[in-house]
């Protein structure tokens, strides 16, 4: 236990932000501060913190570790005193720098994923919160929220700097103010990620498929630092829709048992008082596409009906992970623990439905054509009910299982009635996504199924000349259909 007898003092980290980076003044280091016998006369007593309102729970997921180190493939000077370091591939993590110079010398590291045609650093794909110009981020925000670490030398021989409380998304590092000439051995990139263990592998005779597998294996750890994020640079949020579409890939490749258990509990923790689940968990106030008519991109905690409720694509993550964790690991205990959470969420969704149709949502995110959000959200309502029925049956709640099975049947009937154009196989505006959702979830009469497939094939081969127009859900489902 800690109390006010503990002492604190100023250290060398004079600014840190998990998004923007760290400023470290090595001149302010206090040698031996963590050793017995250190003279702390200049330090002062700590103040008692306000009691936490959250639940203190043991961490069950793997810790974040340095997992891979990357030597630069090239260093080039774009002008005097400014070097561009190329790691050869994108990573999420930080850079370790070796440097020797006079006390007070300032070395600045800026991080980016791309270069401009003239060879200078392009930071615009990884700025925090899309803050790319003055006035966007509010009071105190930088004009451009770029990722930057700054190191101030203490001037005592060779110094090695690694930041502590930040991470970056980058392939390139712009190094400014380095004393002397920066060499390949003076800097390296370090990947950070939750230290999940490999559980499966894939290889075949098709090199394209092998390359896709390799890219997946490189990409996933970069988005796994405590949460499964949408991206490791700009937002770093645990969006339920990104989790849902990628979960099965990761379950095949890695041991995700404890990590995804923690994710499920994050959604439980973020659940609103009315039982609704959120788009993002841990919740950040982001509720676009949800059931709050007064909510915006970022909701106020004290305003709006159904404040904080997430879009159907996001809230799917909770029941879907429960279903998959049981399927892959047989975790019945987690089903029992989360059953009430799942029930309350489904009851809330049902209360917002209009004759079993859901009118709000985000659609098929990143689709190249506009899709009817009602089609996607209603199909996911059906998916929720199917999972709930399956979980209830596993847990021996037979009456609940009957109730949710009946609910799924009513949603399916309503979906077909509203969106199917009888005799054509067309679903709503018959985009690829609309067709795929109906086929994937079997929300179409058997006698219309082949026609629906033909409509889908024609859209791909004729209307889009062999290309897909689907978003993140539609693409996954299309490949399975």
How would you classify the pairing of strands 82-99 and 187-194?
Answer: antiparallel
Q: Are residues 407 and 333 in the same domain?
A: yes
Phi, psi of 357 (to 5 degrees): -110, 135
pLDDT band at 434 (very low <50, low <70, confident <90, very high): very high
Are 69 and 185 in contact by the 8 Å Cβ rule? The answer is no
- pLDDT at residue 293, rounded to an integer: 66
Q: Are residues 217 and 104 in the same domain?
A: no
Using the 3D structure, point to which of 195, 221, 254 is the last residue of a domain: 195
Which of 291-300, 396-405, 424-433, 458-467 has the least mean pLDDT?
291-300
Four-CA torsion 397, 402, 406, 411, nearest 10 degrees: 20
Domain coverage including residue 187: 1-195
Give tens-digit pLDDT for 16-65: 999 999 999 999 999 999 999 999 999 999 998 887 777 788 899 999 99
Does pLDDT of 327 surpass 90? Answer: yes
* pLDDT, mean over the chain: 94
Tell whether 148 is covered by a domain.
Answer: yes
Using the 3D structure, point to which of 165, 195, 225 is the last residue of a domain: 195
Four-CA torsion 181, 183, 185, 188, nearest 10 degrees: 100
Q: Are residues 157 and 243 in the same domain?
A: no
Q: Are residues 60 and 153 in the same domain?
A: yes
Give tens-digit pLDDT for 278-311: 999 998 887 788 887 665 555 555 455 667 789 9
Tell whether 450 is covered by a domain.
Answer: yes
- Computed on alpha carbons and rounded to an integer, the radius of gyration of the chain in Å comes to 26
Tell whether 202 is covered by a domain.
Answer: no
Closest by Cα among 237, 358, 384, 388 to 290: 358
Q: Are residues 191 and 225 in the same domain?
A: no
Tell whether 452 is covered by a domain.
Answer: yes
- pLDDT at residue 305, rounded to an integer: 63
pTM, entire model: 0.93
Q: Are residues 138 and 218 in the same domain?
A: no
Tell whether 23 is covered by a domain.
Answer: yes
Domain at 227, CATH number: 1.50.10.10
pLDDT band at 1 (very low <50, low <70, confident <90, very high): low
Task: Compute the average pLDDT of residues 407-433.
Answer: 98
Closest by Cα among 244, 103, 83, 274 to 175: 83
Using the 3D structure, point to which of 195, 228, 258 is the last residue of a domain: 195
Residue 273 is classified by DSSP as T
CA dist 116 and 470 (Å) reads 30
Phi, psi of 399 (to 5 degrees): -65, -40
Q: Are residues 123 and 252 in the same domain?
A: no
Domain at 10, CATH number: 2.60.120.260
Give tens-digit pLDDT for 62-120: 999 999 999 999 999 999 999 999 999 999 999 999 999 999 999 999 999 999 999 99
Q: Are residues 274 and 324 in the same domain?
A: yes
What's the full length of the chain, in residues?
481
Closest by Cα among 8, 22, 185 to 108: 22
**Number of domains within the chain:** 2
Tell whether 201 is covered by a domain.
Answer: no
Q: Are residues 355 and 430 in the same domain?
A: yes
Q: Are residues 261 and 386 in the same domain?
A: yes
Q: Are residues 187 and 215 in the same domain?
A: no
Tell whether 200 is covered by a domain.
Answer: no
Tell whether 471 is covered by a domain.
Answer: yes
Q: Are residues 356 and 454 in the same domain?
A: yes
């Amino acid at each position: 236990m800690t109390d006010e007898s503990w002492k604190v003092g100023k250290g060398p980290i004079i600014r840190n932000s998990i998004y923007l980076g760290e400023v470290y003044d090595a001149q302010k280091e206090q040698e031996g501060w963590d050793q017995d016998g250190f003279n702390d006369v200049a330090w002062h007593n700590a103040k008692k913190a306000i009691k936490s309102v959250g639940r203190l729970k043991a961490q069950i997921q793997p810790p974040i570790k340095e997992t891979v180190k990357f030597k630069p493939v090239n260093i080039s000077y774009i002008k005097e005193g400014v070097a561009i370091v190329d790691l050869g591939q994108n990573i999420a993590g930080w850079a370790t720098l070796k440097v020797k110079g006079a006390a007070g010398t300032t070395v600045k590291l800026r991080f980016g994923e791309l270069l401009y045609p003239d060879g200078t650093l392009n930071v615009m794909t990884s700025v925090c919160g899309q803050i790319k110009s003055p006035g966007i981020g509010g009071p105190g925000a930088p004009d451009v929220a770029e990722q930057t670490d700054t190191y101030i030398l203490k001037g005592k021989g060779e110094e090695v700097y690694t930041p502590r409380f930040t991470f970056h998304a980058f392939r390139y590092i712009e190094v400014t103010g380095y004393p002397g000439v920066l060499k390949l051995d003076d800097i390296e990139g370090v990947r950070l990620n939750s230290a999940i263990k490999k559980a499966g592998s894939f290889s075949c005779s098709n090199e394209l498929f092998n390359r896709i597998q390799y890219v997946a294996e490189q990409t996933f750890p970069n988005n796994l630092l405590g949460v499964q994020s949408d991206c490791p640079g700009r937002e770093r949020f645990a969006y339920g829709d990104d989790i849902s579409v990628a979960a099965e890939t990761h379950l095949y490749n890695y041991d995700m048992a404890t990590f995804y258990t923690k994710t499920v509990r994050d959604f439980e923790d973020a659940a609103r008082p009315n039982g609704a689940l959120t788009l993002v968990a841990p919740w950040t106030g982001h509720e676009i596409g949800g059931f709050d008519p007064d909510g915006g991109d970022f909701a106020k905690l004290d305003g709006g009906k159904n404040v904080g409720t997430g879009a159907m694509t996001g809230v799917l993550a909770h029941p879907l992970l429960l279903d998959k964790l049981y399927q892959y690991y047989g975790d019945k205990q987690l089903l029992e623990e989360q059953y009430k959470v799942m029930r309350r969420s489904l009851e809330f969704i049902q209360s917002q439905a209009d004759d079993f149709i859901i009118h709000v949502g985000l659609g098929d995110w990143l689709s190249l054509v506009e899709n009817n959000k009602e089609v996607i959200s209603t199909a996911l309502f059906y998916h929720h009910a199917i999972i709930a029925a399956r979980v209830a049956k596993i847990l021996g709640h037979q009456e609940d299982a009957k109730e949710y099975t009946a609910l799924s049947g009513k949603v399916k009937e309503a979906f077909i009635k509203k969106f199917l154009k009888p005799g054509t196989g067309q679903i709503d505006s018959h985009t690829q996504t609309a067709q795929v959702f109906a086929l994937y979830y079997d929300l179409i009469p058997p006698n219309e199924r082949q026609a629906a497939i033909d409509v889908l094939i024609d859209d791909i081969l004729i209307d889009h000349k062999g290309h897909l127009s689907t978003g993140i859900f539609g693409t996954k489902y299309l490949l399975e259909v």
